[in-house]
Every structure is written in structure tokens, then in C-alpha cells.
Amino acid sequence: MPMMHALKGVVIGALAGVGYAITGFFKAKAKNKEDFDYKKFAKTVALGAVLGAVNYYLGLGMTGDDIAFLALAGETAVIEHVIKAIFAKISGESSVF
């Protein structure tokens, strides 16, 4: 049964990643006139899916899919910024954002 929860988590997490990726695209388009970047989009969706699988496996889905979706969108945003900051620090960039 936990694997079914994890599979459902992948779907909910991927959808949360899609939601966050779309809002990120519109923000970048308005601010920097950026074109759609499929790699960024795919990375964000994949991150959401992984977080969803882990969270549902650990029981987040028990709160309800709607709450889990919102929580996963937030987690995706936070973890993505943390990963970007770590890579910026490792590569020696002076500005993280």
C-alpha cells in the first residue's frame, strides 16, 4: 500500500511542480523577457515528483490531496532555491539570485 501512496505522490508532486514552473515562467517573462525553457520546466516538475513520492510515502497524503498539492508546491519552491544557492556557492558566483 505505501507504494500506491508514493505513486499518487509522484502525480500530485509533478502537478505541483508544473504549477510552480508555470508561475516561475510568467515571472521571468515579465521581468527579463525570457523565453520558455523546457529544461528548467522539466527539472522543476521532476523535483516536485520526487518530493511528492517521498512525502506521500511518509504520510503527507493523509492530510488530503489538496493540502498536499499546496505543501508540495511550496516545498518545490524552497528546495529549488536551496539547490540553486548551493550550486552558486560551489561555482563561486557572487550573487545567488
Residue 89 makes CB contacts below 8 A (sequence gap 6+) with 96
For residue 18, with 0-12 CB atoms within 10 Å meaning exposed, 13-18 middle and 19 or more buried, which class applies?
Answer: middle
Among 6, 23, 1, smallest CA distance to 68 is for 6
pTM for this model (two decimals): 0.83
Q: What is the pLDDT of residues 17-63, one digit of tens each?
A: 999 999 989 988 888 888 888 999 999 999 999 999 999 988 877 88
Q: Return the domain boundaries, the chain.
A: 2-91
Whether the per-residue pLDDT at 96 is higher than 60: the answer is no
